Amino acid sequence: MEESELLKSEGFQVYKTVGRGSFGQVFLVQHADIGVVAAKVIQNENFEENEWNVSKILINDTPQTCPFIVRNILAKQFDKFTVILMDFANYGTLLDLINANIDFPLHIIRVMMKQILQGLSYIHSKGIVHRDIKGGNILLHSPLGSGRIILKLADFSEVKFLKQSLKQTQMTQRGTQAFMAPEIIQSQVGDTKVDMWSVGILFNLIITHTYPFDPTNENDIRKFLGNKTYIRPSSIKDDNLWDLLKKMLSFDPINRISAVEALNHPFFTSIQALIEITPEQINFAQSAQISKSNGDLSITQFDINPSFAFPLSSIMNNNYSN
């Protein structure tokens, strides 16, 4: 109540609460000068300055450079709270989609993974390690009338910045343990590869509807990490997908695949991957190309590439509701 009253006093119309956690609350709001955005309201003692520092690093890039991250727009500190205004994503989180237990076809798994990896390769190129990749921190957005879904990396409160002179840095056990890379748990040293481990666990969960361990049992997680054995789930039929997941879930970070390397993996680049692009995805890309030719500056290089097209129908046909 106090948080929403603060927003109203600053001229915002508050529509609803769209997120809540130990950090604070997120509201869907509108302001005459800004439009519709999400407002994250955090108690000052819980505010992580790194969350805003990410914005300073990305400030010179337009949103079209990489649409697969949630961008912070403005931050302001008050007596008790800090308010961060950010992009609003209108279709919930990837966790909502996971909880719907949808068996996605391979071409949808591919595009979901490709969007997330593109977002990661972008922030990694800036020396940013997310450190808390999980379903709840990936938002789904469908631009009005587009018929497409864009996956966006969100919540940069746990980020670590890598210095150019250092390939690895000390990392405390922050984030969610079920998605935490072995090097963080065992030695508290890591780099961008910790995010790749998290993506591997995430897609194992999306595809199989389970983890390769009991996520509620710390001893079972440590046993899995200690055994250093990732057994192929029976539901993973595609050999290229299995090979990519194995490389994401390499227990040795030196051998673990990077985001850029993953995007060039045969799971995305093979003839079979190209054949499996659907007519619907091609139609989205062609429509985007026409819009771009007509002067629509919001169209990105990813909009005109059918391999990045995630049809909204693929989740709505499964009775998904956020």
Question: Residues with catalytic annotation?
Answer: 132
Binding-site residue ranges for ATP: 40
Strand partners, 43: 81
Encode 14-37 in three state secondary structure: EEEEEEEECCEEEEEEEECCCEEE
Q: How far apart are CA 142 and CA 308, in angstroms?
A: 13
Rounded to 10 degrees, the C-alpha dihedral 102/106/112/113 comes to 120
**Residue 105: exposure state from Cβ atoms within 10 A (0-12, 13-18, ≥19):** exposed
What SS3 state is found at 259?
Answer: helix
Locate all alpha helices (DSSP H) within the chain, ordered by sequence. 2-9, 49-58, 94-99, 106-125, 182-186, 193-208, 218-227, 239-248, 259-263, 266-269, 271-275, 279-293, 313-316
Binding-site entries = 40
Type of residue at 45: E
